[in-house]
Structures are given as structure tokens and as C-alpha cells.
Structure 1
């Protein structure tokens, strides 16, 4: 029986996940199939219930990362804390929910030499990716995090989450001010041009940047960043997919083959 996996979401036609996973299967010599399937929140439970035993795993993108808690029989601690499931793995009792976005962020940061023990970090945004960023920073033993988002109540939610992970965190004004991006790393989870205002104060930044956006690239923030220590959402995507491949197949992911499968630019 051919094993199957897929990425689910809505919209989904833009997803690069099938390219990444199929490249991994080819490199590993696995005759597996990975597709992209349009699934809305209201349809997820029925879709999952109808999958046969050939299905080994599902990747989830928006808007399914929170509703997935309703179909998961088990959920790991990190996914529960960040309230985001991006991976469902077949288990004997049904499905286990986990989150590989956190792994993807940690590995993307490692690529720009952000490693354990950083003194300071800034997180821009307060959605699911920002929550995963907080978890990633906790794994890197960040000592202090500043958080900026459009809505103050979202910032307070992230500060509380940081506390759950043992991180010291405080709010940062949503209005960009000189020096606001002074940190060992800045993680922007803002969509597209939403970081344009922050780009205007980026010229004095001295740390690394992880901009979770990747289409179009560069974002205004990345274009104005004053050094080459820049990781993109594309790097995150590769690494979170690599961890999904490992979890679904049981084999180490062929990261280089996966990276090489993507077009030179996703603009």
C-alpha cells in the first residue's frame, strides 16, 4: 500500500510543501505520495475521519492550526502551549498533534548564527507564528524578549505565554522608535508590507533578522536590514517540513535535496 500525506488549508494552491516533501521522498527512495488539498475549517473533522490507513501524516496551514485540536487524539506540550498544531501524525488511537514551526524557527536562526544563550530578542506580531517564535526563543534560552503588535491585548497574551516558557518579556510600542530593534535577533511575523514602518528604523540594527514572510522577497524590513544575517520564511518552511518528514517517515530528512527542489526565488 502506497503511503500518503498531504498539506491541508485554504487557500492551498500556493503551497510549496508538496515540492519539499516529494523531493524528500525521492531522495529517501520512498514510493510515497504527498499532495495539497483544499480543506476549510468546517470540513477538517470529516476529512480526517474519512482517511484510511495509507495516510501517515498531515501538514496543516491556515486556517486549520487551531481547529486541529478538535481532531487530535493526543497533543504534545509545545503545540498545546502555543495553541497551534501544524502537523498531525497517525498513531494507534488516531492522530497526534505537534508543532514543527518551532523547530523551523530554531533551525532558521541557527543558519544566521543565532544560538543558545542570546541576551535579547524582539518579536513583531502576535499571531500563531509569533507564539511559535516565543517557544523557539525559550529553547534558545533567550534572556529577555520585547514584543510589539498592533493590539495591546495580543501583546499581553504573548507576555503571559513567555512566562509559561520561563522567559522575561515586556511590551514594545507599536510605533517604531529609534533603537527599538536593538537586539541579538528580531523575529518579524508580520505579513508582507506590514513591517514597512519598522524598516525605516532598521538601519542601526546590529543583530540578526528572521522575517517569516517570503513572498514577495525581500520584504521592506529585509531590504533595509544593515547586515547579511537575514533568514526568511522560506528557511523556516524548509526546516519545519524537514522535521515533518522525519516524524512521518522515521528517516533523517534530506535537507539539501529539499532546499534544492525549490525555485531560486519564490517571488
Structure 2
């Protein structure tokens, strides 16, 4: 039941037939007994249409997905530090003006910490391997930097983070945006293969493995061991070829949809200015898993 007091939120993007965000937010609204609804605002021409029609009907905030994250950032009067660094935002809040926030990296960090806090412990002599240098990699690396530097002084970080990607210009952009920290390095497939035991966390951020997108896994099947944790942010299909190969070698797996889950939870908290309870998270996770299994 909706009333004049019901707050309106939604997701802005194109195409949106695949989106799982309404399952996250409407479930949380229901569990929190918060009078709101989350709708799908699908339009190929948001750049031309602008945000005024949404604000005119009283929309309080939106999630933003491809291909409008960079455009969304330019529409805001106030931006978070992550958005400013990435020049990209996945959340817009319509309160006093327009505020842009990016929760993508936060979602990745929370997914990792839920699995094993040591994977982001700056005092452990291990390496994180990031596969890819696109927008997702940039957002995640920004949040990793914040986590490492929050947990230890900038000059005492023992953990190294390495990027394996083809686009050298994109790597340079990431390095510069993070201030060229000494703990961030480039690497090659040959070096990664040779020193596979140096890593405890592997983050795959490219579209390879996503339904409808071809390409071979970046790492060979013999790379993985039971001492590795793989976080492939692709969640459709539930298990990419990379994940399947890692599982064969008994590596730990962080499900890709956890990033979607936790970035959505952070958005909900921004929308409602309230905290999510742990039991709600478990409920939403089970719903997302059910819906993803239907899409096999």
C-alpha cells in the first residue's frame, strides 16, 4: 500500500531488464518498515532528459548504473571523495540540491572483510592481485587504498597490491589518482604465474566471463591453490569459468553478487539515513541467490 507520504527511490540506467536492485531495496524497505518504494527508471536518453522530471515527481534518490555513472557525477553540487577521484558516481541523493556518492568500492571492501579481515590487513606480507584496470578496478582500488591506510600508517604498509591489465594508460591513471603509493605495482602474467604463492587475494574486475561476453580466463587453471581467495565481481552467471577453475583447486571464493549486495546496502543506508540489521542482510542475500539461480 502506498500513500502521499511514500518516498520514491529507483535505479537510473539503460538497459535495466536484468537489474536486481529492486529486490535489494524493496525487501529492505519492507523489513525496516520504511514507507518507500524503489522503481526502475529505464531510459536511453537520460543525458538529454536530465534529472528534473524525477525531482518534479518527488524522487528522493537513485542508484545509477551504466552508461550514466560518469554523467551522474557531473550533475551533482556536492560529491564524495570517491566520486571525485573516479569522476563517477553510482548514487544520487536529492535533498538540499544533488549529492553524488559512489558505493561500488565500499561494496567490494565489505564483501572481502566479511570473508576474511586478514585479506586487507596492511601488516601482512602478502599481495593482492587486481585483474583489470577499468572503472570497477579503479573504484575498488580507491577503497582498498583507504582501508590499508586507515588500518596502518601510509609509510608502514607491508602488503602490496599489483595490477595485471593490458591498458597501460588506464593503469597510469589509477596510479596518479591514488598518489602513486609505493605499495601499488604493475605486473605481468609471467611474473604472476611465477610468483603465484605471493598472493592471498585475487580480484577479477573485467567483464570476461559475464553472460554474453566471450574471452578466456586471464589466469591459467594451475595458478590457484587452496591458499588463494578469488573474488570475481561478475555475478551472472553465478560461477564464471575462472571461479570454476579456482574451486577445482580448493581456493576460497567470494561470490560476485556480494559486491552488488553490499553496495546496495550502503545505498539503502544513504537513502533512509538508517542502519541495516545483520538479519536483514541474510534475508536479502537469500533472495538475490534465488533470483540469480532462476537466470541460469
**Under a length normalisation based on structure 1, what TM-score does the superposition of the two structures give?**
0.90
What is the aligned partner in structure 2 of residue 200 from structure 1? 221
- Residue 175 of structure 1 and its aligned partner are, at CA, apart by 6.4
Q: Please give the root-mean-square deviation of Cα atoms over the aligned residues, in Å.
A: 2.2
What is the aligned partner in structure 1 of residue 33 from structure 2? 29
- Residue 199 of structure 1 and its aligned partner are, at CA, apart by 4.0
Aligned length: 264
What is the aligned partner in structure 2 of residue 52 from structure 1? 56
Larger Rg: 2
CA distance in 2, matches of 1:146, 1:2: 47
Instruction: Identify unmatched segments of 5+ residues in structure 2.
Output: 149-156, 210-214
- Residue 106 of structure 1 and its aligned partner are, at CA, apart by 0.8
- Residue 230 of structure 1 and its aligned partner are, at CA, apart by 1.2
CA distance in 2, matches of 1:72, 1:230: 37
More moved, 199-208 vs 219-228? 199-208
Deviations 1:78-126 (A, max 9, x none): 111122200001221x210011111101111012203432542111111
Q: Does 1:97 align with 2:100?
A: yes
Pick closer, same or farther for the CA change 1:115–1:154 going to 2, 3 Å. closer
CA distance in 2, matches of 1:89, 1:60: 11
Instruction: Name which of 146, 154, 172 aligns with 2:170.
Output: 154
Match runs of 1:8-87 below 5 Å: 8-40=12-44, 42-44=45-47, 46-50=49-53, 51-52=55-56, 54-87=58-91
What is the aligned partner in structure 1 of residue 283 from structure 2? 257
**Under a length normalisation based on structure 2, what TM-score does the superposition of the two structures give?**
0.81
Instruction: Name which of 242, 251, 262 aligns with 1:239.
Output: 262
- Residue 242 of structure 1 and its aligned partner are, at CA, apart by 0.3
Contact 2:226 2:251 in 1 (8 A): no
- Residue 227 of structure 1 and its aligned partner are, at CA, apart by 3.2
Deviations 1:102-157 (A, max 9, x none): 11011110122034325421111111110111112113316321111122212222
